[in-house]
A and B are shown apart, each in its own frame.
Chain A
């Protein structure tokens, strides 16, 4: 029981037999006729293209048929199409083996073929066509939108089977059946509400039902509204950005920004990341960045002055200001792929290196009595030159400044190992001469080496400087 609960309902209530598949009578008939024609040898069309809106039963029908006839499914989806070698592998598998009359026949299923982008998956469509021509098993292609020009050749090679958008009544009937099977108390108008908002997508309707049922233990109209409306508001941030950039009116863009929980600062970053992909006209891009950078100025004024009243202006500029700057409609409504703000990723990936750089800058600043930003922009680049070109000398510097091992490696990837080794040698040597010079004094540990620098320390390093140095020698010990 507890195990069964963990299976999502969309899987749990997947049709096992053809008559369990909701509606789509015409598609069922066409598809079954075509599959059966394989029993009599190879039909004229080797492949069928099942198309229709999401959640209308395309996959379910294929699975139900395979299940009833005891056929094995060989599946691929869009993410696999990246390499045509993968398609060829499947093609080989499917070319082998006899026909459906054999003990275990196969159906080759390629899902989401309309997700193939011709530029990125160069050759993938070619490979699919080859597969269709050479396969000795039925090939089923699945798509939401088959009318893309790039799919024309494929369309010609396939038997086209259309799946209609499911009606609200059909969706509601399935939901009701699931409710009684789950022994859930369901209000009728709650099911109406869920079915209505699914717009014929049975998969999403079942997901919604499950969310409400699991969350509240019973499905009432008010609970359904509370949960699903909230989810509506929290639109995927990609979609919010897309909505903003494609807005034609100021109110549209401003309203879109209310549909996310992202902070204004985050939203700014997401718009910044994806704006240049959408606004490809240089004039648009410049205008949009004028607005976006002004929004950023307002945000900085909020931080400085603490007056949150200014937020409204920042949001106006980053939404409406940006949206209305994009005037070239050739690009404005074009669907382009958006991405996650790269800087956040970059920053996360380089956190350690940046920490080392900060520590090094502080160390140098304390020695040269300059700011850390001067150390970073002026001194560290020159030290990198030294560390890249003269390991011996660098080792002496590393020792004199009491650098940690990671600082040495930061300054030279190329010579890092060599310099670290040289530093160790110098330390041992220093400990030896130091011991001799001190005569009977206790043998100083290697870590004390810098104190024994030939030049006597001039004055004590200032408060912060000495704290800094202590921590550095500690970290170099580790």
Chain B
């Protein structure tokens, strides 16, 4: 499966990331407008909004690349707000860079704030002031999954670009192209199923593709094998233990394992649980699915607000143990009556 005799390999999501706007094959309208900015060497602050894996980060880097050339990172500060989201970062790192002198020949510097919707509200307020004060030398590109989580004053200072989910045929075509470049055997079923498991998220699709290819070939069975192996079985176990066995302590142990051993954050676990709750493979009464989802939402809100992962998720488990009580009292799977 190697491309020739290469001794080293990269993650394909990096290897096949378009470097310039020209290489981008999706989001054509957006790309065209961005290319105008490059031509005019001027642009407003930008807000890229849309679901994960639709090319927001790629477009931002490609834009910078086309503006400044190969060494574009010299003219750009990139921060991932999920990792550095506090007001301190805005006041120090961002401010320092925003007010620094403009390099020769560059029309302005760029500050790229990825996952900006994870910034705290006060950090956003601080950011808004910087956007005004240094607009003559610095432009901001904010990237967010949920633009509504960006405060209104910032939104109104940005040109908003909405990235749409990628279409099935676009994702499949790109995956096929990568397979050809890599010399990997793939079939359409395999590629389609990658789209199924990743939605329109191109990064996830390419990551799954690479893992499936590492198993030998990109087939339907390999794709599902990869996804199965990569999803910790503990999430479902945790749900089932609490709901159907009513064993709180055992389910809490599973929770701890997920957090400490797999390193999943509370929000990750809530999101995966949400998927499981509506999975046809877990036999939960329909109305209860909704009730659990409601509670999951409450827990996620508290976690985002800064509450403790383990305590909040334990409260969820206690709720599940209680909700499951009527399920445990009747014979578990309704067995066919023998006559």
From known contacts A286-B318, A357-B263, infer whether A293 and B311 are also in contact, taking CB-CB under 8 Å: yes
Residues of chain B lying within 8 A (CB to CB) of residue A288: 318
Give the distance in Å from the alpha carbon of A371 to the alpha carbon of B79 in the complex. Answer: 9
Q: A345-381 CB contact bits vs B (8 Å, 1 = yes)?
A: 0110010011001000100110111111110111111
| Contact assessment for B260 and A296 in the assembled complex, using a CB-CB cutoff below 8 Å | no
Residues of chain B lying within 8 A (CB to CB) of residue A379: 11, 207
| Contact assessment for B264 and A376 in the assembled complex, using a CB-CB cutoff below 8 Å | yes
Which B3-57 residues sit within 8 Å CB-CB of chain A?
Answer: 6-11, 13-15, 19, 52, 57
Summed over the interface, the residue pairs from A and B with CB atoms below 8 Å come to a total of 203
Q: B295-315 CB contact bits vs A (8 Å, 1 = yes)?
A: 000000010011110111011
Q: Check B72 for interface membership: any CB of A closer than 8 A.
A: yes
Give the distance in Å from the alpha carbon of A292 to the alpha carbon of B315 in the complex. Answer: 8
From known contacts A282-B246, A343-B260, infer whether A382 and B211 are also in contact, taking CB-CB under 8 Å: yes
Residues of chain B lying within 8 A (CB to CB) of residue A369: 57, 61, 78, 114
Q: Check A206 for interface membership: any CB of B closer than 8 A.
A: no
Interface of chain B, helix or strand or loop or mixed? helix
Residue in B closest to A277 when the chains form the complex, CB atoms:
B249
Q: B258-297 CB contact bits vs A (8 Å, 1 = yes)?
A: 0111111100100000000000000000000000000000
| Contact assessment for A376 and B263 in the assembled complex, using a CB-CB cutoff below 8 Å | yes
Chain B interface residue count: which class?
35 or more
| Contact assessment for A292 and B311 in the assembled complex, using a CB-CB cutoff below 8 Å | yes
Residue of B210, B253, B302 touching A297 (CB-CB under 8 A): B302
Q: Check A237 for interface membership: any CB of B closer than 8 A.
A: no
From known contacts A289-B315, A397-B11, A460-B73, infer whether A370 and B265 are also in contact, taking CB-CB under 8 Å: no
Q: Check A459 for interface membership: any CB of B closer than 8 A.
A: yes
Which B56-84 residues sit within 8 Å CB-CB of chain A?
Answer: 57, 61, 65, 70-74, 76, 78, 80, 82-83
From known contacts A382-B207, A385-B229, infer whether A401 and B10 are also in contact, taking CB-CB under 8 Å: yes
From known contacts A368-B13, A430-B7, infer whether A458 and B19 are also in contact, taking CB-CB under 8 Å: yes
Question: Quick check: which of B123-131, B164-172, B173-181, B319-327 contacts chain A, the rest being far away?
Answer: B319-327
From known contacts A350-B261, A357-B263, A377-B264, infer whether A382 and B230 are also in contact, taking CB-CB under 8 Å: yes
Q: Check B108 for interface membership: any CB of A closer than 8 A.
A: no
| Contact assessment for B73 and A364 in the assembled complex, using a CB-CB cutoff below 8 Å | no
Residues of chain A lying within 8 A (CB to CB) of residue B248: 276, 282, 285
B141 CB to closest chain A CB (Å) equals: 13
Which A321-358 residues sit within 8 Å CB-CB of chain B?
Answer: 342-343, 346-347, 350, 353-354, 357
| Contact assessment for B19 and A386 in the assembled complex, using a CB-CB cutoff below 8 Å | no
Residues of chain B lying within 8 A (CB to CB) of residue A277: 249
Q: Check A19 for interface membership: any CB of B closer than 8 A.
A: no
Residue in B closest to A458 when the chains form the complex, CB atoms:
B19
Q: Check A389 for interface membership: any CB of B closer than 8 A.
A: yes
Q: Check B214 for interface membership: any CB of A closer than 8 A.
A: yes
Residue in A closest to B81 when the chains form the complex, CB atoms:
A371
Residues of chain B lying within 8 A (CB to CB) of residue A292: 311, 314-315
Q: Check A290 for interface membership: any CB of B closer than 8 A.
A: yes
Interface of chain A, helix or strand or loop or mixed? helix
Give the distance in Å from the alpha carbon of A160 to the alpha carbon of B154 in the complex. Answer: 83
B316 CB to closest chain A CB (Å) equals: 8
Which A392-408 residues sit within 8 Å CB-CB of chain B?
Answer: 393-394, 396-397, 399-401
Residue in A closest to B122 when the chains form the complex, CB atoms:
A304
Please list the residues of chain B having a beta carbon within 8 angstroms of any beta carbon in chain A.
1-2, 6-11, 13-15, 19, 52, 57, 61, 65, 70-74, 76, 78, 80, 82-83, 114-115, 118, 203-204, 207-208, 210-211, 214-215, 226, 229-232, 246, 248-249, 252-253, 256, 259-265, 268, 302, 305-308, 310-312, 314-315, 317-319, 321-322, 325
A-B contact pairs, 30 of them (CB 8 A): A282-B318, A286-B319, A289-B315, A292-B315, A293-B302, A293-B315, A297-B305, A300-B302, A300-B306, A304-B306, A347-B260, A353-B261, A354-B263, A367-B11, A369-B61, A371-B83, A374-B52, A378-B203, A378-B207, A381-B229, A381-B231, A382-B211, A390-B215, A393-B2, A393-B214, A396-B6, A399-B9, A401-B11, A453-B8, A460-B73
Please list the residues of chain A having a beta carbon within 8 angstroms of any beta carbon in chain B.
268, 272, 276-277, 282-283, 285-286, 288-290, 292-293, 296-297, 299-301, 303-304, 342-343, 346-347, 350, 353-354, 357, 361, 364-365, 367-374, 376-386, 388-390, 393-394, 396-397, 399-401, 426, 429-430, 433, 449-450, 453-455, 458-462
